[in-house]
Amino acid sequence: MTGRSPVAHRPRRADGQRNYDAILTAATAEFTAHGSQASLGEIASQAGVAIGTLYRHFPTRATLIEAATRDGLTSLLDYADKVSAAGDPVDALTAWMSRAVDYFSTFRGLAQTLTESRNGDNALSETACAELTRCGVRMLEAAQATGRIRADLTAEELFDLLGAAAWVRETSQPGHDGSVRLLAVMIAGIRS
C-alpha cells in the first residue's frame, strides 16, 4: 500500500456526469410513462445520447431501474425512522406499509422487479434489497412486540403483502386505486 489507495480513480469526467444525469432524468420519465419495460433506445434518445452510452453507464436494465428509484427508497427508509419515533409501533407499521406500497408502485413493473430481486432472481443491488428488508423487519418486530400483530407473520410474508398491493394498484384502471381497500383488508388480517 502506498500512501494513497492504489485504485484512486480519476474524478468522473464532466461529460460523463452530464450524460449520466440526462439518462437518469429520461429514464425516470419513460419508466413513469411506460413502466419498467420502457424502451432503452427511447430513453437514450430522450437523453440525447447514443444507445452505447446508455449501456456504458447502466450495463443492465436493473441498474437503471435501481438508480431511478434510489431517491424513493431513501425517502421510504427515512419515513420509517420518522414514523417509528412518533409513537405506537402498530400505527407506525400500518403507515409505513401504505408508504411502502407507494414506493413499490412508483411505476408499473417495479413491484415485480423488487420481489424478484428479494427472491434472488433478478439483480437489484443486494445492499438496496438488504436495507429495505432490514427496515421492514424492524417495523414488523416492533409492532409484533405489542402483541397486537400476529407473531407468526414473517418479514417475507409482509413483503409479499406489499408487493401484492402494489401490483393491484399498477393493474387497476387509472382513477380507481384498488390497493387502498386491499391494504385495509390485509392490515385487518395481520392483527392478532
Partner DNA sequence: ACACTAACAGGAGGGGTCCTCAGCTTGTCA
Partner DNA sequence: TGACAAGCTGAGGACCCCTCCTGTTAGTGT
Interface residues with DNA (CB under 7 A) are 9-16, 18-19, 37-42, 48-53, 55-57, 59-61
Nearer to DNA, 53 or 117 (CB): 53
CA dihedral of residues 148, 153, 155, 161 (deg, nearest 10):
-90
Q: How far apart are CA 67 and CA 17, in angstroms?
A: 14
Using rule CB under 8 A, residue 35 touches a second copy: no
Q: How far apart are CA 140 and CA 163, in angstroms?
A: 16
Q: Which stretch binds a second copy (CB under 8 A): 22-30, 64-72, 75-83, 112-120?
A: 112-120
Q: How far is the CB of 183 from a second copy (least distance, A)?
A: 10
Question: Who's near 176: CB < 8 A, 6+ residues apart?
Answer: none
Query: Binders of a second copy among 141-180, rule CB under 8 A?
Result: 153, 156-157, 160-161, 163-165, 167-168, 171-173, 178
Residues in the chain: 192
Q: How far apart are CA 17 and CA 14, in angstroms?
A: 5
- Residues near a second copy (CB under 8 A): 112, 115-116, 119-121, 153, 156-157, 160-161, 163-165, 167-168, 171-173, 178, 181-182, 184-190
